Amino acid sequence: MSSLLKPIEFALNATLAVDPESQHKLERYDHRLIVIDITDLANKICVGIDKQYIRLSANSKHDPDLTISAKALTLLKLSRDPDSLFSSEITIHGDVQFAKQLQDFLQGFDFDWEAQLARVTGDTLSYPIAHGIRTLTGWLSDTHQSLQLSLAEYLREESRLLPDKSEINDYLSDIDKLRADSDRIEARIQRLRDQRS
């Protein structure tokens, strides 16, 4: 993972260099540290902000201002949809106000990774590589969703470990009836007490 960080850092800072507004905004967060915990890969990326530059490393001696934990696909989605930062799929520890500021920054920051790829590989290679990455990401996302649906179906239908919707509805209906019966019994007991007194 650490060998990939330098090219990513270079690409991010090259994009910032052609986006002076975002680069200027970044200065507000000087000396801030974000740790991105990629839970399914058991890897962490430390994102340090040094004036108008982003520094990436595999570890840091300093305590982070913010830790963002999620699966790799969820973090990829975050780069396209900053609003998902506060979704149930992402866990945030630390300065929540800073997290909100980070979300605002990401919404205004357009990281054109295909343009950065073209600078390294040339236009001829950048399109098929980018297309391949998009296809792979789409396939991983579809496969992930399909596996989740298949597993849920297996747990409901085959192993019977999870109830289906009708069983849940029946259970909730029984609870409502039981609660109503309990309320009636309690009211009747109270009436009997009132009569005795």
- pLDDT given for residue 119 in this prediction: 58
In this structure, is residue 24 part of a structural domain?
yes
Could you list the pLDDT tens digit for every one of the 197 residues in the chain? 566 788 878 877 887 887 788 888 888 899 999 999 999 888 899 999 998 899 999 888 889 999 999 988 888 777 778 888 888 889 999 998 888 888 888 887 655 555 555 555 556 655 565 555 556 555 555 655 665 666 666 555 555 555 556 666 777 788 888 888 888 888 888 888 888 87
Q: SS3 of 77, please?
A: helix
Cα-Cα-Cα-Cα dihedral of 32, 38, 41, 44, to 10°? 10
Same domain? For 103 and 185 the reply is no
The one-letter amino acid at 9: E
Q: Which DSSP symbol is given to 174?
A: H
Same domain? For 81 and 17 the reply is yes
Same domain? For 22 and 100 the reply is yes
> pTM (2 decimals)?
0.54
Beta carbons of 11 and 118 less than 8 angstroms apart: no
- pLDDT given for residue 40 in this prediction: 87
In this structure, is residue 61 part of a structural domain?
yes
Q: How far is residue 67 CA from its own chain's centroid?
A: 12
- pLDDT given for residue 186 in this prediction: 85
- pLDDT given for residue 64 in this prediction: 93
Total structural domains in the chain? 3
| Nearest residue to 82 via CA among 68, 65, 61 | 68
Mark 16-51 as b/e (b = at least 16 C-beta within 10 Å): beebeebbebbeebeebbbbbbbeeeeebbbbbbee
Same domain? For 72 and 103 the reply is yes
Q: Which of 81, 111, 141 is the last residue before a domain boundary?
A: 111
Domain of residue 30: give its range.
2-111
In this structure, is residue 117 part of a structural domain?
no
**Residue 175 CB-half CA count within 13 A:** 6
- pLDDT given for residue 15 in this prediction: 77
